[in-house]
Amino acid sequence: MPARRPAGPEEEAAVRPPVRLRRLRRTPALREWVAETRVEPGRLIYPVFVRAGPGPSEPVPSLPGVQRYAVRDLPSLVRQLDTEGVRAVLLFGAGRTRDAEGRDAWAPDGVVPEAVRAIKRSTPEIVVATDVCLCAYTSHGHCGVVERGEVRNDPTCERLGRVAVAHARAGADVVAPSAMMDGQVAWIRAALDRAGHPETAILAYSSKHASAFYGPFREAEGSAPEFGDRRGYQMDYRNAREALREMDRDAEEGADLLMVKPALTSLDLLVRARERFRLPLVAYHVSGEYAALKAAVAAGIVEERPAVEETLTAIRRAGADLIITYFARDFARWTSGGR
Ligand code: PBG
């Protein structure tokens, strides 16, 4: 509808907008001055896949630009991250052998403990978090112990406690249980304290959906379940109140940080969690979100840098203090003036 022209000076004054939001959008300096949300590389956590065995680092086919690292290449990786301004990694290992229980997950000389030691020897100031789960170590690919076709809760928690202790002994600063077992945070806290690691923090995967967006990760880890799916333990994405209950429980059980995952499909949960909790909130921008955006870039649909900056900013604006993202390094290079 075309705007009606004011009849005279009096009417013109009446329709003139008294508030002009565009005043503060006039120049880059003004826009920067009033920007409410910023994403700094120091708020990003880089997920790192570590490979078993003597083989070299290699690209992960399902995640363009992402490598699976040999332990010997980790020191140079973290030194680079440190100069780029990324101060934290989240480590994912895989079983050298896989069995029904996932025993290799808590072996003291397993892939993750070795990786933690290698990193801490070279760059002790980097924050090392480790994923605590069984799915990359079990023959059936489920996140816990299976008996009679069912993933058993409490026996799994007991194993997760051992995994967390193995990681803490190697020097991990943070353990991140992702199996979505009830009580896993309390169990791990008790196991850590008993083993003499009261200093190790717990980043709880609290609201973790049974999501279609983990596909590229499972391809990378070879951790897709052999039968069934993960809906018997991961959260139903239709439920927001239940997500808050998961976070309530984990906070009560002693979690030091709470995670919401995936990120873009959980922005409402981040907003609500931000109001409800005083704990640091972490959002996981997962493998499928990364790969989908990369594919859109490759297809010429969006431009990478602005699309990634807009995405990560939205996750921060919704309430995340920290973001786990495969884009961490690209983002850090862009903001430090590179490329
Ligand atoms: C292990 C785990 C998964 C992810 C993080 N920890 C896979 C799953 O639950 O199937 C997914 C991360 C990603 O997609 O980037 N349970």
Q: For residue range 18-46, list pLDDT tens digits in order.
A: 899 999 999 999 999 999 999 999 999 99
- Determine the Cα–Cα distance for residues 195 and 158; give it in Å rounded to an integer: 14
Please report the beta strands in the chain, taking only residues with DSSP state E, as ranges in sequence order.
44-50, 58-59, 67-69, 88-92, 127-132, 145-147, 150-152, 174-177, 201-208, 257-261, 281-285, 322-325
Q: For residue range 87-133, list pLDDT tens digits in order.
A: 999 999 999 999 999 999 999 999 999 999 999 999 999 999 999 99
Give the distance (Å) from ligand 1 centre to CA of residue 104. Answer: 18
Percent of residues, the chain, with pLDDT higher than 70 = 97
Q: Please identify which of the residues 43, 68, 167, 208 carries the catalytic annotation.
A: 208
Whether the CB of 49 sits within 6 Å of ligand 1: no
Mean pLDDT to the nearest integer, 44-59: 95
Catalytic residue check, 261: yes
Percent of residues, the chain, with pLDDT higher than 90 = 91
pLDDT of residue 8: 79
pLDDT of residue 339: 43
Distances in Å between the Cα of 250 and the Cα atoms of 22, 129, 244, 290, 302 are 44, 17, 10, 27, 38
> Where does the pLDDT of residue 228 fall: very low under 50, low under 70, confident under 90, or very high at 90 and above?
very high
Whether the CB of 132 sits within 6 Å of ligand 1: no
Give the distance (Å) from ligand 1 centre to CA of residue 214. Answer: 6
Domain boundaries, the chain: 39-336
Q: What share of the chain is helix, strand, coil (3-state, %, to 5)?
A: 45, 15, 40
Q: Please identify which of the residues 117, 189, 261, 294 carries the catalytic annotation.
A: 261
Give the distance (Å) from ligand 1 centre to CA of residue 325. Answer: 12
CATH superfamily of 39-336: Aldolase class I (3.20.20.70)
Ligand 1 pocket mutation, candidates 48, 112, 133, 219, criterion most atoms within 8 A of CB: 133
Considering the entire predicted model, what is its pTM? 0.95
Q: Which residues contact 39 (CB under 8 A, 6 or more apart)?
A: 309, 312, 313, 316, 323, 331, 335
Do residues 84 and 41 touch, judged by C-beta distance below 8 A? Answer: yes
